[in-house]
Every structure is written in structure tokens, then in C-alpha cells.
Amino acid sequence: MKRRVKLRGTMKLYVLWPIILSILLIAMNIRLYFYNNKAGIIATCYIGIYVVICLIIFGIYRQKLQRDMIEFAVNYGQIQLEIMEDLTVPFGVLSQDGRLLWGNDEFIKVIVNKKAAKRSISNIFGEITTDKIPKDENTSIVHVKTEDRYYCAVMKHIVSEKKGELLHENNISKLIDNDSVISVFLHDETDMMELEQKREEENLVVGLLYIDNYDELIDSIDEIRQSLMMALIDRKINIYMQGIDAISKKIEKDKFFFVFKQRYLSGLESNRFSILEEIRNISIGNDNVATISVGLGVGKESFAQRYDSARAAIDLALGRGGDQAVVKSADKEQFFGGKNVQVEKNTRVKARVKAHALKELIEGKERVLVMGHSIGDVDSFGAAVGIYRIAKTLNRKAHIVVGELNSSVYPIRDRFYSKDYEDDMMIDSERAKEMVDENTVLVIVDVNRGSYTECPELIDMVQTVVVIDHHRQAGDAISKAVLFYIEPYASSACEMVSEILQYVGNGVKLKAAESEAMYAGIMIDTNFFSIRTGVRTFEAMAYLRRNGADAVRIRKAFRENLDEYKIKAAAIQDTELYRDQYAIAESKADGIESPTVFASKIANSLLDINGVKASFVLTQYKGKIFISARSIDEVNVQVIMENMGGGGHINMAGAQISDKTIEEVKDMVRKQIDDMMQEGEK
């Protein structure tokens, strides 16, 4: 289709100036007639000749002038294209959907595979996704990487004046269907990234190393071998420090401070801090095994801030039970080790100290609010009842914040709706918020993450917060707590509160309903005293029995009905035995009041099958997939669940997954099992 070429702008004005000048001459000629007719006639003749000559020249040479101008523009455009093709900076043009339309020689050298880029630039640079391509006139900057080079891709949205604008590539015209294209420049920043990486590697990492069970270890061996044991531990630590070119200093008998360059950190993480295993393997003929905890502070902050991160990391490692390493930066924590069951401490010194501290905090306030985790279970409710009794014994107003509960709690809870207890013993979250003032202390039991509590807003509202929990401390644990009592070796929160009750003093006496609530919490969390039970667990149970707990009545309260038993049997029948050792099942608990609790029962039952090392039961509930994971002694299900965003204990853990189907979550569990087996970290 032929198009008429029109002159525009300055060029059009330049070509038409003789005609414009003719108008001026005609005006002058008219003026001459007022002075002299003869002069006006003469001027008219000459002006007429001038206009005729201009029209002839314009008519004859107009097309030739246009051809010359077009030829000049084409030559100029070709020069521009050649300049872009020879440009030392990689430059290309993309379509709006990310397809490569054209690229200069340097750009083609970078991408190598031109055909793949024409399908989508994401095939070359995975970092340039559809959402990163600019949709308006703003500039988009994306850092990309090829095999060995780093580039900064600067993309600009360019709107063309006309559809069908032609782009020349190797003398072939290519039609662009859209009104706009995306220009992209690649700026090589490899040298800068290498320098940045080198600077990162030269950063100092601050570390703290503690011997977890120093006192118990020394007390368990005779004086002659005490020095030998410590010499072996010190030697292992010093050799390990030399391997990472670290400067280390023993600051106390059981504590080390060290610094090293960050270049060695990846090696420590890849071998998963082998020093943990080396220390555990030290043996001089006694049964006690030495364990250590390591806390590292990394990042771009000041050295003092890195030291603070190291202190927070070591506290986190100890709060999770020790025998592990924690690497903490400004925005995340990484956990290594912690694969073994925590050794129960025979001493109750810590429980006595925490009990006295709790007593002082409660006595210094007028009101006590007790709160467990959301969708409370028997353990959290029983522990809350124990704290309630302490507060009432100290003559303080006390309330338990209760929301949605597992159905298993109902038989225990209903016993407190009697004349022996105040009507406001149990309150909801809204009422609790109204009660908060400066004379309120909040005690959180059976959970150490603020977001998992029954009412997270209370934590910010209350000035004094106490946390009592038996789960391993998480990276986002409640930092506001003035009293933090975490014992991962404890079987349950009820066990911990039972010990506190014995040291509070003031003649604390539990009622039968209270004793049975706490007894039930221990019983459920230990799967009827079959897992995670130690000497102190049975001592706590004995204390509760002395206070009136009836084990037979509690056992009857937790019996299953026939319909639930049939659903459990169906789930067990359809169980997948992955790798002949890991039971993966789905609990289709439609109509069950507490599907998550029911799933945990199925998971416990699957452990009774010969050869099963761990069980994973999935339940769809309230738009999420809940996972109940259980094991006996060979598999650390807590690590598996932590990798999936959950947590718990070594042999009892769980997680909640959103926006996934049952089959997708099963695949996630299988992958975690494969990864753990491959890394040898069961």
C-alpha cells in the first residue's frame, strides 16, 4: 500500500520559505501603489515573475527533494543501526511479553542461545519474569546472572508513534505488532559483584560456643578423669578453630568466644558443624556424653551488632535444648544439629529459681491473665489451670483466656463450670483486652511464638509477660517476655507447671479437677506415658496423684466413639508406606469435631505397625492442610516439620500448609524424607 510522504516541522518550513516570502513581497507591492502607480506596476511584474519561478521550481524539484531527504534518513538510520550493532554495551529490544525482537552483537554474545531468547528472555535470564518487565514508562532494573558473569539489566518501556514501525535487522524489515517495545541494556557488574563477594568473605563472623552439660559432666566422673575430659574437649575445639583460621578465647570454664572470616561459613554449614558430632563422640568410659551449642552472628551490621546476634543465637540454641548450632543474621536464623533427644536434667534448681521469679512477678501485680496457643489442647489448658491456682493462692485475680478448643478438652473444661469456680475464670479474648492495665501480668503456656497464641494482641498490650513452654524455641519467639522458661526435655507444659507448683510455697493445694486437668495434659502429650517420659515426668504425676487426680476417670474421658474408630481404621487401611519405613496417611475426618487431634491419634496408632519409623497424617481443615508427625526414636520429625514451616519435638511435631492440595503436601513430605536420608540426618 502506497503512502504519501509529507514534510513536517522545521524541514517543511525551510522548503516553503520562498512562498512565504512571496506573501511579504505582495504586501509591499500593494503599499507601493499608494505612493506611485508606475512603481507599483513595475514591482507587480517582477513579483509575478518571482512567484511563477518559485512555483515551477517547487513543482519540478519537490519529488526529487523528498527522495533525497528519504535517502538521507535511510542512510542516517542505517548508521544508527550500525552504531547500535557495534555498541560495546549489550543492547536489545523485547516485545511486551518478553520475546527478543532484536539484539546487537554484544547482546547476542551474552545470551548465546538466540532461538530460546526469541521464545522468551526468561529462558536465558530466569530473573526476568513477566512481572519484572515494565508496563509503563518507569525503568525496571533486574540483576541477572549467566554462567560466569553478572549483569544489571535496565529495561525501559518505549511507546512507538505508529503501529507497524519497522525494525531493521540484517537488512530484513520486521513488523512490530504492538504499540510499544521494551529496550534492555545489560551492564556488566561482574567485577563489582566479585569485589562485593570478596568483601563479604572478609567480614568477621562472631561466635560463642558453650558446653551444654558441663556441671553434670564433671559431677559424673572422678577427679582424675575430669581434667582428661576437659583436655579432650578443648583439643577438639582448638583443632576445629584452627581449621577455619579462627581466633578463639576461653572466657569461662565452659564458654568460648571466637571470630573467623565469613568465607569459611559455607564450609561449616555444608558439613553441618561437624564439631557437634566430634564432641559427642568423646568417651572416657562413662555414660554421660558431652554436648555443645554454637551461636554465630553474621551480617553487614557493625561488629557490636554481630556480637549481639551471636548472643541471641546461643540463647536460641540453648532454649531449643542445646547440642546444635544457630546462625543468626538480621533477618533470619538457620539451625543445625539438635537431632538427638535432649538429656533430662536431674536437678530441679532451674525450676525452683523460675518458680520464685514467677511468684514475685505475680505478687507485684493485681491481675493475672493466662493464655495458651490457639485451638487449645489438653496440655495448654491444664498448664493454664495450674497457673490459675498459683495466682488464686497468692490472692490475685486470675482469668484463663479461652477461645476455640479441641473437642478433647471439653470433658476436662466442663468440670470447671461449677460453684467451686468463679464465672469469669474463663474469658474470651475481647474481654481479656478490656481487663488489661498496668497491674496485669500475662502468663503464656505451651507456646513460645506470639503468632500462635490465643490472642497475640495481648502480648503488646501487657507490660509484664511470662512464657512457660516445653517446645524448642523458635526464631520468632516472644522477645518481650521478662521471664522465659523453656525446657525442651520436658514431656509437657503441665509437667513444668507441676514442678513450679511445688516450689511456689504459700501452701498451694490443687483441687481434684485441677490435678486431673494437668494429669491429662501429661498423659496426652506422652501418648499415655509411652514417649518422652523421664524421672521428673513420673514425679510430677505422683505429685498430681497426691492432689487427687483419678487416672481411671481421666482414661475414660478420652475414650473414642465407634464412628471415630471406624474412620481411624479406614485411614490406616489406606496408608502409604513410603520407602517401607514411613507411613503417610490422610485423615478424612468429615464430621469430626477436632480433626487435628484425631489426626494425631491416627499418627500415634501407625507407630504400632512393625517397621514404621515415622508417621505423617494429613488433615484438611479450615482451608489448610494440617500435618501430624510422630516417631519413636530413629527419626527426628521435628526437623522435617521445621523445614516445612512447623515445629514441635523430636518425636512429635506438626505443620500447617496453606494453598496446597493433599497430594502436593504428600509430595512435600516425601521430598523432605528423601533430603533427610540423603544428608544422613535422620
- 198-224: per-residue pLDDT in tens? 888 888 999 999 998 888 888 878 888
Tell how far CA 290 is from the center of its chain.
32
Q: Which of 557, 586, 615 is the last residue of a domain?
A: 557
In a domain, 254, yes or no: yes
User: Which three cell numbers, joined as nine digits, stand for 539?
Assistant: 514425679
Across residues 561-578, what is the average pLDDT? 88
- In the predicted structure, residue 442 carries a pLDDT above the cut 60: yes
Alpha-carbon span 570 to 380, nearest angstrom? 30
40's enclosing H/E stretch is helix 37-85
Q: Are residues 392 and 507 in the same domain?
A: yes
| Burial of residue 632, with CB atoms counted within 10 A of its CB: 0-12 exposed, 13-18 middle, 19 or more buried | middle
Residue 347: predicted pLDDT: 61
In a domain, 216, yes or no: yes
Alpha-carbon span 463 to 441, nearest angstrom? 7
Q: Are residues 79 and 102 in the same domain?
A: no
Q: Are residues 124 and 24 in the same domain?
A: no
- 103-157: per-residue pLDDT in tens? 888 888 888 888 888 888 888 888 888 888 887 777 888 888 887 888 998 988 8
In a domain, 1, yes or no: no
Provide the domain limits for residue 24: 9-85
The answer to pTM > 0.75 is no
Residue 273: predicted pLDDT: 92
Q: Are residues 376 and 467 in the same domain?
A: yes
> Please, what is the average pLDDT of the chain?
84
- 247-269: per-residue pLDDT in tens? 999 999 999 999 999 999 999 99
In a domain, 544, yes or no: yes
Q: Are residues 365 and 485 in the same domain?
A: yes
Q: Are residues 551 and 661 in the same domain?
A: no
> Grid cell 489442647 — which residue?
377
Q: Are residues 113 and 218 in the same domain?
A: no
Q: In b/e form, how buried is each residue of 561-578, taking b as 16+ CB within 10 angstroms?
A: eeebeebbeebbeebeeb
Alpha-carbon span 108 to 101, nearest angstrom? 12
464's enclosing H/E stretch is strand 464-469
In a domain, 4, yes or no: no
Helices in 93-189 by DSSP H: which ranges? 105-111, 114-119
- Kindly indicate the confidence band of residue 310, based on its pLDDT and cuts at 50, 70 and 90: very high
- In the predicted structure, residue 508 carries a pLDDT above the cut 80: yes
Per-residue HEC secondary structure of 63-91 comes to HHHHHHHHHHHHHHHHHHHHHHHCCCCCE
The total number of structural domains in the chain stands at 5
Alpha-carbon span 398 to 388, nearest angstrom? 6
Q: Are residues 314 and 408 in the same domain?
A: no
Q: Are residues 516 and 583 in the same domain?
A: no
CATH number at residue 294: 3.30.70.270
Nearest CA-CA partner of 425 in 551, 340, 511: 511
Q: Which of 195, 220, 243 is the last residue of a domain?
A: 195
CATH number at residue 369: 3.90.1640.10
Q: Are residues 498 and 587 in the same domain?
A: no
- 4-59: per-residue pLDDT in tens? 556 566 666 666 777 777 788 888 888 788 888 888 888 888 888 888 887 777 77
Q: Is 605 helix (H, G, I), strand (E, B) or coil?
A: helix
Residue 342: predicted pLDDT: 53
Across residues 298-309, what is the average pLDDT? 88
CATH number at residue 648: 3.10.310.30
Q: Which of 85, 117, 132 is the last residue of a domain?
A: 85
User: Which three cell numbers, joined as nine digits, stand for 118?
Assistant: 526469541
Q: Are residues 529 and 381 in the same domain?
A: yes
Q: Are residues 461 and 523 in the same domain?
A: yes
In a domain, 343, yes or no: no
Q: Is 342 helix (H, G, I), strand (E, B) or coil?
A: coil
Q: Is 36 helix (H, G, I), strand (E, B) or coil?
A: coil
CATH number at residue 119: 3.30.450
